[in-house]
Structure 1
Amino acid sequence: MQLLQPREGTVHGDAYLPADLDSIAWGLLPNATSRPVTKVASGSTITIDTVSHEGILEDQGRDPAAFFAASGIPAVLADAAAVARDAVHDPAAQGPHVVTGPIAVAGAQPGDVLEVEILALDRRAPYGVISNRHGKGALPGEYPATPGTVSLVATVEDGRGVLPVGDGRSLRFPLAPFLGIMGVAAATDQPVHSVPPGPHGGNIDVSMLGLGASLYLPVQVPGALFYTGDPHFAMGDGEVALTAFEAPLRATVRLTVHADPAIRALAAALATPFAETATDHLVLGLDRDLDEAVKQATRNALTFLNERHGVPPQVGLAYLSAAADFRISQVVDIVKGVHCCIRKADLP
């Protein structure tokens, strides 16, 4: 079984950050008091190892070797085993996610925008987990039918995800790796729970932010303090069970600070981070109420069209209704997410 262990294999970036115990946090995201584990220049690239929380959590025994052995998987990542064994985690007060970082970016100041370009996403293992926990997900109280957790181990075969049905058959589906958590430190000295996303980014779970995408994060503290985690091999929009195909990735990103007035003004006008792929601009809406998340995504999209392209709001709303897609990012992270997809080819 091929595993991409820490400090082994190809490193694509100018620098490398392993998921060691002194360079990760479990359950809480960086805040204004956090100290960076490394520092990079704006415009440089860095390769970051990420660890999936699935398979190491308390309700899974906090022993990944035993957990995966029960599904016939004989080996696990050394850093995942170390986190499960030695990292401090309080599931009653903290989220489940393991994040690597924070990384200071030289010159970043509040009001600037940090661009995160996704340059490479390498699978670190040929397996992962999809979980449904009682009281959580899109059908809380219905699935699982009784209190507890259902965690299904999925594997990768011939470049596709394989999920056993249980009767000898399997469901096979395409892989589309991405990082569910990418963010900057929030401007607070209070603990920042890893589950709900917000203006700092964090657990936004936008499945379109895979290879070639860029995420734009409004900097809130000096140095930005970027971090990432919650790696996925695949996720359907909505993520209705609670998790998707959670599995570890080695990510290479380029971190660039933008301080020009136009992008600072755009970031200040929007209520959330924004993003782009090769074909689309992505504008987000985030709220505990899904209806309000749609409203925020719509308002942000109107602001984007007006600020960036000079489209009057009444024309912008007509265009959005005729041509843009509003997709549910996720409904399982306390704060629900919607991403509006605006085709670049449509814009003047």
Structure 2
Amino acid sequence: MTTLDRPGSGYAALQPLSSSPGAYLPATPSTTQWGRLPSDADAPVLTVDPGTTVVVDTVSHEGILEDQGRDPVAFFAGHGVGRDRVLDDAVLIAAEGEHDRTGGPHVVTGPIEIRGARPGDLVAVRIGDLVPRTDYGVISSRHGRGLLPERFPHGNSVFCLVENLTRGIAQARATLPLTAGAGSRPVRFPIAPFLGVMGVATPGSRLSSTPPGLHGGNIDVRLLVTGTTLFLPVQVAGAGFYVGDPHFAQGNGEVALTALEAPLRATLTLGLVPKEVAQERFSGVRGPFALTDEFLVPTGLDEDLDVAVSKCGENAVAMLGSVFGMAPELAYAYLSAATDFEISQVVDLVKGSHARIRLSDFPFSTISAQEFVR
């Protein structure tokens, strides 16, 4: 592993809470699944009413995986991290958690039942504070995957310290070395925390945590930061919402297999859009989509990246029609002239694309998540 010989930032690790004034879901072997996603056969680990705000702890898979020794204390000690800066829940899950290695690497917290949720509804996840639980993380390339597996076929992990976290996320900078070896100068880049995995349970067997789908899951859309609302189509009664794969930062594409993976404490408000409202206001839009202060964000998912972008385009045309009443041929022209289509990720078996439709281009029509959510 490549690392910098640097001291800690003085940021105290956010260990599991002993108590909470509101709804709180810790990450434990009994409240998480490792490698696969919840299905309709899984009992909820928490049940809430629509509109409830929940604080959820997430654990990163980096540092606890089998090829890293499945011992985060020893793994991170090799990079100058003392025991007090290693999360107790990461240690417990590494020791006692059951990792289904036929699935993916991710630890997901959940499922959370939302009372009254039914297939056809949309779960509206309002993303509040996303607080780093440590001041370090890991970027990995392994298993002959990533954008350039022929050039980088062997596993490589880069340990990243985050500086200035005590001053807040806006001032924080992640660091990684310019070259291997002691004394290397650091490269610094800003962090923008988000959850790579947010999804709802599916009928039947548990799905691998790696490929995303209409249920959401490992969509890895870096726009899903604090202040954004993610909409997920309910697949089973109660929704079975879950989160995982926390990131401190990611570039569009996530080309090396992972981005800067590191644990977060997430504050999320879980609302519902009734089926009738969803059909009226988002007719023809399939799969997850998001609403930020600036953009409507449709997505497209497929094993073929060309098809994923095409599906994103279809969803964007449908969204412009259902939300703003725009004619399809004019929507298509508008998208070509004014909308960025971006690659979410190319490394999760099912590739992803998302588009950024500027809300300010439609000043005659205001849109907010609250007008849909019940």
Task: Tell me which interval the TM-score lies in, with the shorter structure as reference length.
Answer: over 0.9
Q: 1:15 aligns with which of 23, 38, 41?
A: 23
The answer for the alignment partner of 2:167 in structure 1 is none
The answer for the alignment partner of 1:185 in structure 2 is 201
- 1:270 counterpart letter in structure 2: V
CA distance 1:30–1:268, shift in 2 (3 Å): farther
The answer for the alignment partner of 1:330 in structure 2 is 345
Q: What are the Cα deviations for residues 66-86 of structure 1, in whole angstroms up to 9, with x where unaligned?
A: 111111111210000111111
Q: TM-score normalised to the size of structure 2? A: 0.89
Q: 1:291 aligns with which of 280, 292, 306?
A: 306
The answer for the alignment partner of 2:35 in structure 1 is 27
CA contact (8 A) 2:36 2:100 kept: no
Q: Post-superposition shift, 1:247?
A: 0.2
C-alpha distance in structure 1 between counterparts of 2:210 and 2:157, whole Å = 19
Q: TM-score normalised to the size of structure 1? A: 0.95
The answer for the alignment partner of 2:173 in structure 1 is 160
What are the equivalent positions in structure 2 for 1:207-246 lying under 5 Å apart? Answer: 207-246=222-261
The answer for the alignment partner of 1:50 in structure 2 is 58
Q: What are the Cα deviations for residues 102-152 of structure 1, in whole angstroms up to 9, with x where unaligned?
A: 0001111111111000011111000010001141010112114xx4x2111
- 2:97 counterpart letter in structure 1: A
C-alpha distance in structure 2 between counterparts of 1:265 and 1:293, whole Å = 25
C-alpha distance in structure 1 between counterparts of 2:238 and 2:218, whole Å = 20
C-alpha distance in structure 2 between counterparts of 1:335 and 1:72, whole Å = 36
- 2:141 counterpart letter in structure 1: N
Q: Post-superposition shift, 1:263?
A: 1.6
CA contact (8 A) 2:284 2:318 kept: yes
Tell me the secondary structure at the aligned position of residue 29 of structure 1: coil
C-alpha distance in structure 2 between counterparts of 1:109 and 1:305, whole Å = 26
CA contact (8 A) 1:113 1:267 kept: no
- 1:110 counterpart letter in structure 2: P
CA contact (8 A) 1:127 1:154 kept: yes
Q: Post-superposition shift, 1:168?
A: 1.9
Q: Post-superposition shift, 1:164?
A: 2.0
- Bigger mean CA offset, 262-271 vs 177-186: 262-271
Tell me the secondary structure at the aligned position of residue 21 of structure 1: coil
| Aligned pairs, number | 341
Q: Post-superposition shift, 1:270?
A: 1.9
Q: What are the Cα deviations for residues 164-184 of structure 1, in whole angstroms up to 9, with x where unaligned?
A: 233421110001000000000
Q: Find out whether 1:205 has 2:227 as its counterpart.
A: no
Q: Find out whether 1:90 has 2:90 as its counterpart.
A: no
Q: Post-superposition shift, 1:193?
A: 0.4
CA RMSD between the two structures:
1.4
C-alpha distance in structure 1 between counterparts of 2:281 and 2:197, whole Å = 22
The answer for the alignment partner of 1:130 in structure 2 is 139
- 1:227 counterpart letter in structure 2: Y
CA distance 1:287–1:272, shift in 2 (3 Å): same
C-alpha distance in structure 1 between counterparts of 2:283 and 2:78, whole Å = 50
- 2:107 counterpart letter in structure 1: V
Tell me the secondary structure at the aligned position of residue 121 of structure 1: strand
The answer for the alignment partner of 2:367 in structure 1 is none
- 1:151 counterpart letter in structure 2: S
| Structure 1: stretches of 5+ with no match in the other structure | none
Tell me the secondary structure at the aligned position of residue 294 of structure 1: helix
Q: Post-superposition shift, 1:20?
A: 1.2
